[in-house]
Amino acid sequence: MRADPRVIRSKASILEACAELISEEGFAGVSIEAVAARSGTAKTTIYRHWPSREALLIEAFGICSDAPYDSPDTGSLRDDLIAVLSGLALKLNEGGWCSALSSLADAASRDAELERLHISTLALRRKPLTDVLERGIARGDLPAGMDIEDAVALLGGPLFYRAMLARQPVEPAFVNRTVDAALGTLKPHPGGDLASPEP
Amino acid sequence: MRADPRVIRSKASILEACAELISEEGFAGVSIEAVAARSGTAKTTIYRHWPSREALLIEAFGICSDAPYDSPDTGSLRDDLIAVLSGLALKLNEGGWCSALSSLADAASRDAELERLHISTLALRRKPLTDVLERGIARGDLPAGMDIEDAVALLGGPLFYRAMLARQPVEPAFVNRTVDAALGTLKPHPGGDLASPEP
């Protein structure tokens, strides 16, 4: 069965209205009523496509986050990481996206269903980064037993802190520095100058 | 003029009620009415002590964050950093504090007054960390021209990411690893094994 083009258009306009409202009001401030009013759709139509307000909010947040993009593959781990994190920096420097993300983090901490959806969306969003890391492991640039979760937090964390908490722009030089900090600890250190990392 | 003990008690009970409500409902969900009801205080009393809802929320968040503590001074930069960040990890691993922080970040991104208050609170909260970094510079363990803002983001960012976005506990081994990653790039590298950090 092919999807009805009217249904596709209707879903798209609902998602767009919802994404706008998330940027403007935050997750907590978006009601199905407001989405219905802005998109010119009946509430019953919205509930036909999404089982819950949470499911709609998460899908709309995916829209305002852009679809997951391909991961760069230049052959240089450092260059690939800088490319992926520069993409993240661009999004974080858009005030609306950063607001929506803070709002999602807040809402997910109060609602188990939203938390589950948030975690699965996060897994999708960060795939370009984990792809780059996995290629680095396959090439031997990173250790085989490396913890990917740790690496993602070391690479992405400073950028999120800068935008969401310190509320400052994420500059290209800072992206480079974050990548170098993470690589310094993730790569094997043949007689490095640091104290031994963990007990 | 000495403060009236009744006024001190009344302010304390207002702040405590507000801090509880922030943990339960998030910043967006806390009204002066609700704080008045929970603390058994009149709204006019609340407005006598705080010029705005935002000012009350930020001060109450400071309460649920604990007062700024002294910074450790063991003589070892790495040990001091691990001590400060372990304290942050403990707070982040408390669900309520982490929720309140996400909620504050969200609210600050939508309200200029809250943002200003948030930034000044953040400056106070992170003083133990910046003290440790400044002592490291004074001792020559860190370069004199080092950017303190960058260092704070490299050190704190991964922990905030882990708790607020990935929604995982911040483990001691991860704190150590974050400190080593940051120190690897912050300390001077005599012929380090990394590609040159910045163009």
The pair phi, psi for residue A126, each rounded to 5°, is: -95, 10
Task: Evaluate whether A141 touches A77 at the Cβ level (below 8 Å).
Answer: yes
What percent of chain A lies above the pLDDT cut of 70? 90
Query: Confidence class of residue B192 from pLDDT cuts 50, 70 and 90?
Result: very low
Q: C-alpha angle B39/B41/B46, rounded to 5°?
A: 105
Closest partner residue to B180 (CB to CB) among A28, A98, A185 is A185
pLDDT of residue A26: 78
> Both tokens of residue A15?
């998602």
**Among A154, A168, A171, which would you mutate to test the B interface (most chain B Cβ atoms within 10 Å of its Cβ)?**
A154
| Cα–Cα dist A194/A101, whole Å | 35
pLDDT at A190 over 60: no
What percent of chain A lies above the pLDDT cut of 90? 49
Q: Please indicate if any CB of chain B lies within 8 Å of the CB of A167.
A: yes
Closest partner residue to B185 (CB to CB) among A109, A162, A181 is A181
Of the candidates B11, B63, B3, the residue with the CA atom closest to the CA atom of residue B41: B11
| Cα–Cα dist B129/B113, whole Å | 25
Task: Evaluate whether B10 touches B41 at the Cβ level (below 8 Å).
Answer: yes
pLDDT at A69 over 70: no
> Both tokens of residue A61?
């947040």
pLDDT of residue A142: 94
Residue for token digits 């085989």? A144
The predicted-structure confidence for B5-39, as pLDDT tens digits, reads as follows 888 889 999 999 998 888 788 777 789 999 999 99
Asked if the interface predicted TM-score (ipTM) of this complex is over 0.90, the answer is: no
pLDDT of residue A82: 96
Mean pLDDT on A20-40 = 88
